[in-house]
Structure 1
């Protein structure tokens, strides 16, 4: 039985998707995570998961196709020089099935659908709670942990069908005859305790957006970003890349690092190296970006790279402002951010203007111009203008936060094919037998820019592909 076991390294959404898929197929699973708890960055995702041709879209009468629309948007975001059609096809063509799997197999509510930056159609799904990353990841986590507990109780002296070991840091991939045949891992708390496990390996260790060490991956490929804060947990240090390249795995696009435009500046700790993300759903609901003079300077639902570039040119502090209607649409988000002291609520525009020292007339002029005839930021010319502007008035309440660009996601990673097989760094780029990868550890799916909602999608789609291929 143990010969069937697959070792999944990483307990975020990609690893959980792979592990649950393997169990659905009757396989045996060993899941290892270097942290004392599962979830990774996936639990923090706050905007949603993309899907084209989904049941939720049909119920909302949203006409979307993965071929002509979702694929095209992802290709355009990646850029023609870095877009990889096979990987984009795998991502988008499997999106509806991924959404259905989450809703049908795990009972996740994904009935709210919105359109975020870079998308021509509303296709980013989330739950009504406003915390889609937690809703999705915790559902998969609970099911896997329940299966692991049941397996442990049922097996006496035999390998359980599924085993989860936390605080287990993989230090080496085992290799025989050019194939990966297992791992060695170190248990924290047991100094020098190295344990071997044999089986095919799926790497789901995340990216390297928190690798700010002087000799780390960011320092090697994007040293100018070391000055920025990050939204990532301290686990995102590129472990999977180092493990795989040690067995001659290829990498791609390691200089492609997404700087998200909207990280919260905490007034009590403005220089914090790790920052909360201001979800893109806030701008998708109609939130405005205002410069130090209270004026807009970019179309808020443009692609992340475009918004970030505009923010870096604008005079700060840059503020994210939501009117009453916009705030009501993302109420759970706003309530959470206010409770954390990251967002402030004002009774009306006059109170906001007085507090920040901007003439109220300027604020009201900005509000009046939003969505009006002649609004210079009404359309990017790309057709992405399907959001109806939320009304802003002189008397309506406002939710406001100071924001700044933050290192958010690493598009680069291990070179894989559309079957989630890790490819060799040799010129022939053949798959390395026994080695698969999913989630942010892989590269090439997003090219130059990742669309909002595609990180959770990438984790589920390629996690399911890897779990189905082993």
Structure 2
């Protein structure tokens, strides 16, 4: 994408803020946002009519940390695989709380999306015959995870950016969106935020907004997200605008985050960072401190490649029962494989641990469960639009695809599939003039109110450090809404959250200007992130309290069994007085083709991996 000439888009009105007029604004410059933008351009929307914005430097998106692979039923090694089996695996892994129509949309799309990336120059790992290679990923029936070494997300995003640049897609970096503007009829009018470099306020006057701003796993303490990302921007912005959130109780704890000595300055920055599932996919084995390959107790058939929630709970139990390492984890060992194999198939992991003084070809690494992905998000229709007219959500910001637990390799798949689907629908509406005229008086009136709110958390002399409060919130979720939950803990978490929200009204902040450098005062950014995370944390705690069963990634020690009556989605919305209101909705049934695949009962045989 090309950096805009900001003066071309910039008109400062009498209120003193910048106004940018657009047909569509894409919030988030990772894979989902990039793919939506590519579709807009490819379908004939003038690139002057839309803009992609991100709160980091362009190309520096969380997608780059998705290392293991991206799913699509190409059948490179297993020709009996097809999109219906992929859908069946996704529904089984999601414990049948997924929206079947969205699952089927993703799995139908993905073979073409993978080939499309190949056409655009994606540097896939290849078979000896030159085909796109595919490998096993946890809980999949066939080898359908395409990959580029163990840097798939980085390579995929670079490929998408190159394609977007070829199409002339415009972007703008270092912009933080703080609020969406809507009218009384539930239609999005625009978005407000500020330039993180110089602090000036910006109003995006736009027909439609595509939220591709990531998820909320970074609201936890031990997490795989990069610093200050995935704090719930997308879901919180949509919720405040009137959209519905669903499945917020389902937080995936990846089994293998780095377990480190947090007092060691060399290792501390790596706490919780992902050790890709590809290590287990390539034959890595888990051992407790007593040398036992303990997955034999929990999943003797699938072993280390069992569903992520199963492996994460198994590790948590081993640690809880005293068979963990001193750092609160277990050992992941792939040293039985040749050094050349490890270096070729897992280059980033091999290099990372080598830099830290650990040779994966000679010794195991220590791992522990870490918050990785929020299955929940914004409720959208079949083309990715929320209940707020003109507001789309794609990628990890949207809900519905993953149900109670996400199938490994499906996150990148979702970004590509629904990025394209939402982009196609929005392009058709923009070209047809299907979005009604905006009420600009209301837009500027309400934008002014939001800018006043932003001013109110800028250069304040309160008693609370927003970064410190954000860390307290993360610790709260770790303790009260982690892998193992119960009613008493969830209620205690909500009580603590109320007290933390009261303290958040007395923040100590500086200027909005200064960017993201090491010496920058980022207190306003942290204050905004704290607001997003407070909303998300409440939705997680309340939804987890509401669901009195255990299913997928949600495990209640006081309701340890799955209850058929709870095969419903928990939905969260803001009521007329601003309180959080919960309800449930029934789950649809899959198509006949996918039902047939489910009935055939495909599943991975572990002996295939030996």
TM-score tier by shorter-chain length is 0.7 to 0.9
Instruction: Give the 5 Å matches for 1:85-124.
Output: 85-109=100-124, 111-124=132-145
Cα displacement (A) at 1:139: 1.3
Q: In angstroms, what is the RMSD of aligned CA positions?
A: 2.3
**Count of residue correspondences:** 377
- How many Å separate the matches in 1 of 2:146 and 2:229? 27
**3-state SS, counterpart of residue 420 of structure 1:** coil
2:175 equivalent among 149, 161, 168: 168
1:47 equivalent among 43, 65, 68: 68
Q: Classify 1:443/1:174 alpha carbon distance in 2 versus 1 (closer, same or farther; 3 Å).
A: same
Q: Classify 1:44/1:342 alpha carbon distance in 2 versus 1 (closer, same or farther; 3 Å).
A: farther
2:82 equivalent among 40, 55, 65: 65
**3-state SS, counterpart of residue 205 of structure 1:** coil
What is residue 356 of structure 1 aligned with on the other side?
none
What is residue 207 of structure 2 aligned with on the other side?
199
- How many Å separate the matches in 2 of 1:102 and 1:47? 16
| Corresponding position: 1:6 with 2:24 | yes
- How many Å separate the matches in 2 of 1:309 and 1:211? 20
- How many Å separate the matches in 2 of 1:74 and 1:411? 12
- How many Å separate the matches in 2 of 1:342 and 1:461? 40
Q: Is the 8 A contact 1:117 1:284 kept in 2?
A: yes
Q: Classify 1:417/1:446 alpha carbon distance in 2 versus 1 (closer, same or farther; 3 Å).
A: same
Cα displacement (A) at 1:95: 1.2
| Corresponding position: 1:294 with 2:286 | no
- Give the TM-score of the pair, scaled to structure 1: 0.75
**3-state SS, counterpart of residue 445 of structure 1:** coil
Q: Which has the higher strand share?
A: 1
Cα displacement (A) at 1:146: 5.3
Instruction: Give the 5 Å matches for 1:145-184.
Output: 145=165, 147-148=167-168, 162-176=169-183, 177-184=185-192
**3-state SS, counterpart of residue 210 of structure 1:** helix
Q: Which runs of 5+ in 2 are unaligned?
A: 1-19, 126-131, 296-302, 427-610
Cα displacement (A) at 1:443: 1.1
Q: Is the 8 A contact 1:39 1:138 kept in 2?
A: no
What is residue 253 of structure 1 aligned with on the other side?
247
**3-state SS, counterpart of residue 94 of structure 1:** helix
Say which structure, 1 or 2, has more relative contact order (CA 8 Å, 6+ apart): 1
Cα displacement (A) at 1:334: 4.1
Q: Is the 8 A contact 1:207 1:409 kept in 2?
A: yes
- Give the TM-score of the pair, scaled to structure 2: 0.59
- How many Å separate the matches in 1 of 2:271 and 2:37? 29
| Corresponding position: 1:321 with 2:333 | yes
Q: Classify 1:422/1:195 alpha carbon distance in 2 versus 1 (closer, same or farther; 3 Å).
A: same
What is residue 32 of structure 1 aligned with on the other side?
53
What is residue 369 of structure 2 aligned with on the other side?
405
- How many Å separate the matches in 1 of 2:26 and 2:211? 6
What is residue 229 of structure 2 aligned with on the other side?
235
Cα displacement (A) at 1:189: 2.8
What is residue 386 of structure 1 aligned with on the other side?
none
1:435 equivalent among 383, 391, 396: 391
Q: Classify 1:105/1:37 alpha carbon distance in 2 versus 1 (closer, same or farther; 3 Å).
A: closer
- How many Å separate the matches in 1 of 2:290 and 2:219? 35
Cα displacement (A) at 1:10: 0.3
Q: Is the 8 A contact 2:110 2:417 kept in 1?
A: yes
